[in-house]
Amino acid sequence: MSRTFPVILIVLAVVLVAFATISPSTLTSAKSPDQAVHSLFERAKSRDWKSAFSYVAPISNIDESAFTRDLNGSDGSLRTYSSLQDINTKTLKESDNDATVRADLEWSSAVGALYETRDLQVVKDENGWKVVWPQEKQPNLPPQVIPVNYLRWDIVHRGNDEDWGAQNVEAPRVRIISMNAIEHDGGVMVLGEIENEDTVPGFISVSATLLGKDGGDLGEESSFDKISHTLLPKEVSPFRIDFPSVKLADVKSVRMQPNALLVPASADPVIAVQHQRIETDARGHHVLKGELLNESGETVNIPHVLATYYDNSGRVVWVSDGYAEQALLPQTPVPFAVDVRDDLAGNVQSYRVTVNNYTLDRQQ
């Protein structure tokens, strides 16, 4: 026994040394394009960025830190607060040394599930199949001075005992300027727009109660995040209120309740919406695409896009929203895309995009 134990230790040490000398490419070789993409995202799901990066082809010309920032997010963006939950891959085309694989990804976040589709090129080398990771090119902006000349509203408190600025003053005057009830996906949705008619900003919400033909309540819901909650004077926001599992034929009337609270606010940061257009995505669905440009000098961590769609009579026929997973750096365009109902795309005559913005130190 005294001789056997040292021999076992020596053999074990040799095995460990041999294992350590095996190259990462040998450990992470993929035998098919689909396996390469799926394995990359599986390791990203467990936040093993080094192992995930081992599936990236050298011709991608991207380093591990840039790859990790792309998948894990940066600058306090929504992606930094998200985690990968589900991965589905499908090979679209394949030859002996090249392939295209589609990855449908589901991320969980504080604002709900986020869905992403990536079509990735995969190439074969002596170590198996590797993913050609597209590199996001960030413009290198020169130092510049951005003047701060935006409007700002503060609440002045009367004293420590009474918070009259937030509680005992008249609420901003708001008005619902349009409302339309529709049925979609087995439920009723109340769409419309609300305007802040006052000279002060307000925190806005809209509630709706569906009344049945017998006069009873069929349900009460609020707009939640399908609205721009902070409205400056004379600003207009869309809203959408969803009532799942309710039939429009059972609804006799809708009782609307707009609510407003005086809040401090500012007109900065200014986010421009550029290059808007409706097109078809890789899945064959209609989407509204464009770019967001942060024209201020501060970073917007989480942009929230709201889109209002109108028919030829100017009536609101749909409201959709989406969160950009990238932070908006100053003067740097970031793409966005929100869904358009395929059955309504042909009836949409115009649309309007507004952007909510959330920063680490304040919300707008």
pLDDT of residue 310: 95
Domains of the chain: 20-132 (3.10.450.100), 152-265 (2.60.40.10), 268-358 (2.60.40.10)
User: Could you report the per-residue pLDDT of 217-253, keeping only the tens digit for each?
Assistant: 999 999 988 999 999 999 999 999 999 989 999 999 9
Quote the pLDDT of residue 269.
85
pTM equals 0.80
Q: Provide the pLDDT for residue 165.
A: 45
pLDDT in tens, 133-191: 998 776 666 777 777 778 888 776 655 555 544 456 788 999 999 999 999 988 999 99
Below-70 pLDDT ranges, the chain? 1-28, 138-141, 156-168, 361-364
SS (H, E, C) the chain: CCCHHHHHHHHHHHHHHHHHCCCHHHHCCCCCHHHHHHHHHHHHHCCCHHHHHCCECHHHCCCHHHHHHHHHCCCCCHHHHCEEEEEEEEEEEECCCEEEEEEEEEEEECCEEEEEEEEEEEEEECCEEEEECCCCCCCCCCCCCCCCCCCEECCCCCCCCCCHHHHCCCCCCEEEEEEEEEEECCEEEEEEEEEECCCCCEEEEEEEEEEECCCCEEEEEECCCCECCEECCCCEEEEEEEEECCCHHHEEEEEEEEEEEECCEECCCCEEEEEEEEEECCCCCEEEEEEEEECCCCCECEEEEEEEEECCCCCEEEEEEEECCCCECECCCEEEEEECCCCCHHHCCEEEEEEEEECCCCEC
What's the CA angle centered on 230, arms 160 and 269, to 5 degrees? 100
pLDDT of residue 215: 85
